[in-house]
Amino acid sequence: MTAVSNAVVNDAHEQASFKMSRRRWRDLLGELQRRGDDRRESGAFLLAANTGDHVERVVYYDDLDARCLTGGISFSTTGFTELWRICEEQALRVVADVHTHPSTWVQQSEIDASNPMMARVGHVAMIVPSYGHARSVEECGVHIYLGSYQWIALPAGNVSAVVEIYGLFSRAQTRHFWNMLTRVFGRMTPS
């Protein structure tokens, strides 16, 4: 393995960041679960506008290549042809690929690391645990491509430095808000 300079790592890190609405993130998890059916891996590409970093469209592997979910993932060149057609037509670019793993292990397999879906410096490969049953984005593996088959993995708890899920409230925030409301109204209700 050749040494990677700090400049390359910083450059890749800078290009890696993208944003996604919480609703789209939830939909993505639901679809990955459904398509994998708790018995096989599934995946998708996250697309943003050519000039932006907000995920505007999610394209699932099995919609591009109906036979690619084989337990693992065997994505074909015809699938890529279809992906490039969509990107070109709608002026979108691929910011990340996402795929599921069976367990809570979200590191890259040797196959994952040696077959980048997108050989672009700063491309993000996300791995969702438990066939898509992740409770939070922080449980996911986020791997940034540095070129030459080398990657950096974000340390656990640092995922939001690259993947920002925005909008609506998270379940924890909603619970907090609800508790506060009940406390206030509880006090106001005459006994």
Q: Which two tokens stand for residue 12?
A: 């890749």
Could you tell me the smallest distance in angstroms from the CB atom of residue 99 to Zn ion? 6
Please report whether residue 81 would count as binding Zn ion according to CB under 5 A: no
Please report whether residue 5 would count as binding Zn ion according to CB under 5 A: no
Please report whether residue 10 would count as binding Zn ion according to CB under 5 A: no
User: Which residue's Cβ lies closest to Zn ion?
Assistant: 112
Please report whether residue 90 would count as binding Zn ion according to CB under 5 A: no
Report strand pairing: 163-166 vs 150-153: unpaired
Nearer to Zn ion, 62 or 112 (CB): 112
Please report whether residue 97 would count as binding Zn ion according to CB under 5 A: no
Contact 184, 145 (CB under 8 A): no
Q: Which stretch binds Zn ion (CB under 5 A): 107-115, 143-151, 158-166, 175-183?
A: 107-115
Q: Which of residues 134-163 bind Zn ion (CB under 5 A)?
A: none
Contact 46, 61 (CB under 8 A): no
Could you tell me the smallest distance in angstroms from the CB atom of residue 113 to Zn ion? 9
Q: Pick from 10, 50, 109, 158 the residue near Zn ion by CB under 5 A.
A: 109
* DSSP letter (8 states) at residue 51: T
Could you tell me the smallest distance in angstroms from the CB atom of residue 60 to Zn ion? 16
Give CA separation, 186 vs 173, 175, 176, 177, 181, in Å.
Answer: 20, 16, 15, 14, 8
Cite the DSSP H helix spans in the chain. Answer: 6-16, 22-36, 61-64, 77-90, 110-114, 171-188
Nearer to Zn ion, 81 or 109 (CB): 109
Nearer to Zn ion, 102 or 147 (CB): 102
The CA distance from 97 to 115, in Å, is 12
Could you tell me the smallest distance in angstroms from the CB atom of residue 100 to Zn ion? 8
Q: Pick from 48, 68, 112, 130 the residue near Zn ion by CB under 5 A.
A: 112
Q: Is 91 left (phi over 0), alpha (psi -120 to 50) or beta?
A: left
Binding residues vs Zn ion (CB under 5 A): 109, 112
